[in-house]
Amino acid sequence: MGRLTDLCTRSSIAAAIAAIVVVGGLSGARADAAPIYPIPDPDPFYAAPADIGAKAPGDVLEVRPMPNLLFFPGTSITQVKFRSTNSEGNPIAATTLLMLPDRRGPNPPLLSYQHIINGLSPQCAPSRVLYSSDPDLVVKEAPALNVALQKGWAVALPDHLGPTAAYGAAKLGGMITLDAIRAITHVPALGLQNSPIGMAGYSGGGMATAWAAALAPTYAPELNIAGVAAGGVPMNLTKMARVLGDQPHPVFGLALAAAIGLEREYPDRFPISAQMNARGLAIRDAMANGCTNAILFNGAGHSVPELAASMSLASNPKAWEVGDENSLELFAGVPKAPIFEWHAPSDALIPVDSIINTINRYCASGATVESELFPSPDHLTTAVLGTPTAMNYLDDRFRGVPAPSNCPR
């Protein structure tokens, strides 16, 4: 991952919220412009069944074997489709890959690894990218995942943006992650019914991971989660958005992409399309089915004022509410599973005080948390520095070693 993509992963969601709040209150809006959704995946495996409303979260809808991959040697791959829930409580069909090492014991540890996904198309999801001509970021994670596979762990890679590629919807990622674990453990042939469960991810993937940990006690209380490792997590999207401006930016495309994704999840409360001018809608349309490169290309150098229908700065309280609902610092839930959290002492765009506030709240509520600082020059370096410690942390939890805590007492 280069420095440009690194910056995208840090700033895009927060900038999107800032963009929506500004644009959402503008006059002269294009009220006829409806949200734009991605082209559905042509593979019928990804389609939701007609009776999905009768299914429970985590119910298995379909299972199929997938081709083996050279960069994950000695590993078989299965794809599982399952019922999950979107941000407004409606049933959706979601998918995950499961990698099983040939050399494993009975009920091996199950690691759910949430990748960073920058994209507005289902084709950007791990289950598609891994089998594309350019596996991109997923392959760059292969060394760490191969360490897990060599330990005999099963590794799940959920498509945590959901069927509409709702980039920016953090809570959604948590629910899909938990339902993917449920589904995997409901397939007897996979042999994971009694496996200890771990979750891990960094930055955008860390956000899905951290949300899954916080939601689990109420959304999936039956899951036996042994440990969670989440790094570089944006804990408060609203706070991040309030400090961002409206000047042209080289990675504005990622901000707009997150706005489009959030509108897909909250079409009545996050009406970005109805507030854009013709140029804004044209750029939106050009990136609506794109992954990282297409989004960056189409959005580079643009800004909110350029694409808005007018320049009124009236706020949109519904948009701020959406940001609050996707901010862990403001979410009352507390993880029951032991947590390892890592970040840099300072970050230009992620408010570190929100991480500290969230961890302190968890500690005060009795959670077991180990928080570690990794001094580093940038967001990506922090990921690299912390990943070995995160993997060792999960290894200890899988082996039953009591979880450490550096919570203030």
Percentage above 70 pLDDT, the chain: 87
State residue 272's pLDDT score. 85
Asked if 169 contacts 265 with a C-beta cutoff of 8 angstroms, the reply is: yes
Predicted local confidence at residue 1, as pLDDT: 37
**Which has the minimum average pLDDT: 16-30, 69-83, 179-193, 233-247?**
16-30
What fold is seen in the domain 1-400?
Rossmann fold (3.40.50)
Please check the confidence at residue 333 and state whether its pLDDT lies above 70.
yes
Please give the average per-residue pLDDT across 213-235, as a whole number.
Answer: 96
Residue 253, pLDDT above cutoff 90: no
Q: How far is CA 89 from CA 46, 57, 79, 95, in A?
A: 20, 11, 24, 18
Q: Which helix (H) or strand (E) holds 92?
A: strand 91-101
Please determine, for residue 259, whether its predicted confidence score (pLDDT) is greater than 50: yes
pLDDT bin (cut points 50, 70, 90) of residue 122 is very high
State how far the alpha carbon of 167 is from the alpha carbons of 59, 74, 161, 267, 375, in Å: 24, 32, 6, 14, 29
CA distance 388 to 286: 39
Distances in Å between the alpha carbon of 407 and those of 188, 213, 258, 262, 346? 39, 17, 34, 34, 20
Cβ–Cβ under 8 Å, residues 214 and 331: yes
Q: What is the mean pLDDT of the chain?
A: 88
Classify burial at 90, counting beta carbons within 10 Å of its beta carbon; exposed 0-12, middle 13-18, buried 19 or more: exposed
- Residue 83, CB-side half-sphere exposure with 13 Å CA sphere: 17
Dump pLDDT digits (tens) for 52-99.
Answer: 999 999 999 999 999 999 889 999 999 999 999 999 999 999 999 999
pLDDT-wise least confident of 166-180, 242-256, 294-308? 242-256
The predicted structure's pLDDT at residue 312 = 37
Query: Is the pTM of the predicted complex or chain greater than 0.85?
Result: yes
pLDDT value of residue 180: 98
Over 60: is that where the pLDDT of 8 sits?
A: no
Sorted by where each begins, the domain ranges of the chain are 1-400
Tokens of 275: 């507030």
Alpha carbon dihedral 334, 336, 342, 348, in 10-degree steps, equals: -20
* pLDDT value of position 365: 97
Candidates 45, 38, 276, 272; CA nearest to 161 is 38
Q: What is the pLDDT of residues 172-223, one digit of tens each?
A: 999 999 999 999 999 999 999 999 999 999 988 999 999 999 999 999 999 9
CA distance 124 to 117: 7
Beta strands in 159-251 (DSSP E): 197-202, 225-231
